[in-house]
Amino acid sequence: MFGKKKNIPEIDKEQLELIKNAQKRIKQKKRLYFHFVLFLIGGAFLILANTVLGFGQEFTILGQEWFVLAILIWLFFLVYHIFNVYVTHKFMGKDWEKKQLEKLVDKQKKRIEKLNASLPKEEEKIAPIQTQEVLMENTQKPKQELTIIVAAAENDAIGKDNKLIWHLSDDLKRFKALTNGHHIIMGRKTFESFPKPLPNRTHVVITRQQDYKTPEGVIVVNNLDDAIDACKNDPQPYIIGGGEIYKQALPIVDKIEITRVHDHFEADTYFPKIDHSIWKEASNTFHKKDEKNDHEFSFITYIRK
Ligand SMILES: NC(=O)c1ccc[n+]([C@@H]2O[C@H](COP(=O)([O-])OP(=O)(O)OC[C@H]3O[C@@H](n4cnc5c(N)ncnc54)[C@H](OP(=O)(O)O)[C@@H]3O)[C@@H](O)[C@H]2O)c1
């Protein structure tokens, strides 16, 4: 009793459309029929008005009685009406509109398909340009070669009481020649072991102190990453010590320039062991002891395997 739905007959959309069209068509034809009847009555009335009632008998247009012209004009509109109902409707009616719409949609679909097909080609064109840009960037900016430079004894000793343990004139000369014009990264203690900053080199000093004061031109950073970042425009920055910094930098450097001093020394600072499964010797030059060099030594270059 309550809430029971009535069965409403459902007419699908297409049927409804057909019914609407048929109703519209009937209305059109009805209007044409009334127009035709009106024309007959109106035409007869105009003839009677002129011939029987004598209305406007003297009035002519281009030698023709006015009522004849009026009936002819009216006839023209009636023919036009008939034409609209039977001819225009047939050719430009709903079916015609539907076909036109289908044609246009089809055309658009084809254009979209064509555009989609040309898209991958465009991507292919863009990709080589991007690759070229990357290549140019890579060729313009040579790869940075981060290098450790160190003098270490056979027992890996490198310093004692914040000082070097030996005097090797040729080693100092080599250090100067290699690092000249480049960034040199060092720990705060090594920096303090110099009487003053070395000429013609950009000093990058690593310290945990936030307000560490240095002479003008010296870059102070708080970690190794920032130190390397400070050298980003130098293709060949050097890590020059001391022990703490070497230890942190060894896993990330590309090259080691080591002066191996062929002796054993008592020290408080050491260079980490060089793992020969990671590093391969690229060059090795032996130097004898002489009046300027207190010990025998070898200049050895290691590169990653
Ligand atoms: N034979 C060679 O080729 C050679 C070369 C260079 C030095 N050396 C010798 O090595 C000795 C000095 O080496 P060292 O190991 O004692 O000291 P160092 O490595 O020169 O400097 C250590 C200091 O660097 C700072 N530091 C280290 N790691 C850091 C980090 N991750 N973040 C921020 N700051 C950091 C700290 O400074 P703060 O304490 O200010 O925070 C630390 O006290 C000296 O005897 C020197 O003569 C030998």
Backbone angles phi, psi at 219, to 5 degrees: -90, 130
Burial label, 271 (beta-carbon count in 10 A; 0-12, 13-18, 19+): buried
Res 140: pLDDT: 60
Angle at 142 between CA 178 and CA 219, to 5 degrees: 55
**Is pLDDT at 6 greater than 70 in this prediction?**
no
- Is the beta carbon of 163 within 6 A of some atom in ligand 1? yes
The reported pTM is 0.62
- Is the beta carbon of 259 within 6 A of some atom in ligand 1? no
**Dist. CA 73–CA 50, nearest whole Å:** 17
Q: Are 205 and 218 in contact (CB under 8 A)?
A: yes
Which protein residue's CA is at the shortest distance from atom 25 of ligand 1? Answer: 207
Of the listed ranges 67-71, 214-218, 234-238, 281-285, the one predicted with least confidence: 67-71
Res 23: pLDDT: 85
Residue at a domain's end among 76, 92, 108:
92
Helix (H, G, I), strand (E, B) or coil at 297: strand
Q: Looking at the structure, tell me whether residues 151 and 292 fall in a common domain.
A: yes
Amino acid at 23: Q
Q: Which residue has the higher pLDDT, 89 or 221?
A: 221
Which protein residue's CA is at the shortest distance from atom 12 of ligand 1? Answer: 242
**Dist. CA 232–CA 145, nearest whole Å:** 10
- Is the beta carbon of 208 within 6 A of some atom in ligand 1? yes
Q: Looking at the structure, tell me whether residues 76 and 152 fall in a common domain.
A: no
> Rounded mean pLDDT of 259-275?
98
Total domains, the chain: 2
Res 141: pLDDT: 60
Structure tokens at 256: 């080691």
Q: Looking at the structure, tell me whether residues 81 and 190 fall in a common domain.
A: no
Q: Looking at the structure, tell me whether residues 207 and 280 fall in a common domain.
A: yes
8: confidence class by pLDDT, cuts 50, 70, 90:
very low
CATH number at residue 281: 3.40.430.10
- Is the beta carbon of 213 within 6 A of some atom in ligand 1? no
One DSSP character per residue, 242-291 reads -HHHHHHHTTT-SEEEEEEESS----SEEPPPP-TTTEEEEEEEEE---S
Of the listed ranges 44-58, 137-151, 169-183, the one predicted with least confidence: 137-151
- Is the beta carbon of 164 within 6 A of some atom in ligand 1? yes
Q: Looking at the structure, tell me whether residues 151 and 249 fall in a common domain.
A: yes
49: confidence class by pLDDT, cuts 50, 70, 90:
confident
**Is pLDDT at 22 greater than 90 in this prediction?**
no
Q: How far apart, in Å, are the Cα atoms of 305 and each of 146, 189, 256?
A: 15, 32, 12
Q: Looking at the structure, tell me whether residues 273 and 203 fall in a common domain.
A: yes
Which protein residue's CA is at the shortest distance from atom 44 of ligand 1? Answer: 162
Res 13: pLDDT: 66
Q: Looking at the structure, tell me whether residues 80 and 153 fall in a common domain.
A: no
What is the overall mean pLDDT for the chain?
87
Res 113: pLDDT: 80
Query: Residue 242 Cα, ligand 1 centroid: separation in angstroms?
Result: 4
H/E segment holding residue 302: strand 297-304
Q: Which residue has the higher pLDDT, 139 or 78?
A: 78
Provide the sign of the torsion angle of the four alpha carbons 123, 126, 127, 128, taken in this order: positive
130: confidence class by pLDDT, cuts 50, 70, 90:
low
Q: Is residue 138 part of a domain?
A: no
Q: Is residue 142 part of a domain?
A: no
Top-ranked range on mean pLDDT: pick from 32-36, 38-42, 204-208:
204-208
Res 138: pLDDT: 55
**Is pLDDT at 123 greater than 90 in this prediction?**
no
One DSSP character per residue, 202-225 reads EEEEE-S-TT----TT-EEESSHH
Domain that holds residue 18: 13-92
